[in-house]
Amino acid sequence: MATEVEVTVVTMRDIFQDEAGRKSRFSDEYRDQSAQIILDKQDLAKLGAKDGQKLRVLVKNDVGSVVVAAKTSEDNPHPGLAFMYNSPWSNQLVSDAVSESSIPGFKSIKAIVSAAEEKVTQISEIQARIKG
């Protein structure tokens, strides 16, 4: 079985991804900018990524799953902590079971990451899942 890494995903904003989303939510540019997860170097190595090698990963939890591109973090080491840009991709993993404040846990998503063979999840697939 492929190696799995447990992470807490914190979502964040990025000006280039935001710009792409304003122009079109359906463009390849928006998909490429959004469908990414930024992982700690060691976590990425555990998943089998060699230096400079591009890796696609499956990020899943009880809510859902997405296949996204994995990127190395340039910050100080943060094993177990991952970052995604706020997007339909990250929201596939956010639970609507909320605490007292009724705010979804957009910045504390528990998920499991493993290397993936599949293509990056497309916006049309996300739309189909929402439609059910």
Name the residues that contact another protein, by CB under 8 A: 8, 10, 12-16, 18-26, 63-64, 75-76, 78, 81, 83, 86-88, 91-108, 123, 126-127, 129-132
Report in angstroms how near the CB of residue 99 gets to another protein at its nearest.
6
Contacts of 116 (CB under 8 A, 6+ apart): 56, 57, 58, 67
Q: How many residues are present in the chain?
A: 132
CB of 106 to another protein, least distance (A): 6
* Cβ 98 to another protein shortest distance, Å: 6
Q: Which is nearer to another protein, 3 or 95 (CB)?
A: 95
φ, ψ for residue 55 (rounded to 5)? -135, 135
Angle at 107 between CA 96 and CA 79, to 5 degrees: 125
Name the residue nearer to another protein (CB basis): 17 or 115: 17
Nearest distance from C-beta of residue 15 to another protein, angstroms: 5
> How do strand 109-115 and strand 36-39 relate by DSSP bridges?
unpaired
Q: Which is nearer to another protein, 24 or 42 (CB)?
A: 24
The token pair that represents 122 in the structure block: 């497309």
